[in-house]
Amino acid sequence: MPSVVKINVLTVPEEMRRELEKRFAGRAGMVESADGFEWFELLRPVEGSDRYLVYTRWRSEEDFRRWQESRAFQAGHAQAAGEAAAQGHGHGQGHGHGHGQGGPAATDSELWTFEVVESTGPKQEG
């Protein structure tokens, strides 16, 4: 079965970039222990786009779904939710995350799904 790539596309206004990166820098680090998790990267746009890519790779769709329904996902996104609650931001309306100083860091999110057809890494010497 090919690995599955799940990319969360976050639209982040210029003035919220630093806040979003700070939150990811302080992330819970629970996804690393999720069954079937293979890789995570936060990709910063450098050419005129305002869309960050939260790149994750999984052994299967099922593994991703199990993580997305897990406490680890909630915990992995709770920090911002916690901050929002502490500042009395009406967390009720929003969902899970991207909040904190001055409300949500992302103004929009979209989930892209891909299957890994071909992949390679650097040539192993020796």
Per-residue b or e along 1-33, where b marks 16 or more CB atoms closer than 10 Å to that residue's CB: eebbbbbebbebeeebeebbeebeeeeeebbee
> In this structure, what DSSP letter does residue 111 have?
E
CB atoms under 10 Å from CB of 88, counted, come to 7
Q: Nearest 5°: phi and psi at 100?
A: 130, -145
Residue 8 touching ligand HEM (CB under 6 A): yes
**Is residue 116 part of the contact set for ligand HEM (CB under 6 A)?**
no
Residue of this chain nearest to ligand HEM (CB atom): 76
Of 79 and 101, the one with the shorter C-beta distance to ligand HEM is 79
Residues 57-96 that bind ligand HEM (CB under 6 A): 76-77, 79-80
The Cα 3–Cα 104 span in angstroms is: 31
- Among the listed ranges 23-31, 43-51, 85-93, 113-121, the one in contact with ligand HEM (CB under 6 A) is 23-31
Q: Considering the complex, what minimum distance in angstroms separates the CB of residue 39 from ligand HEM?
A: 10
Q: Which two tokens stand for residue 125?
A: 């010497």
With binding defined as CB under 6 A, does residue 30 bind ligand HEM? yes
Using CB under 6 A as the criterion, which residues of the chain lie in contact with ligand HEM when the complex forms? 6, 8, 10, 20, 23-24, 27-31, 40, 54, 56, 76-77, 79-80, 97-98, 105-106, 109, 111
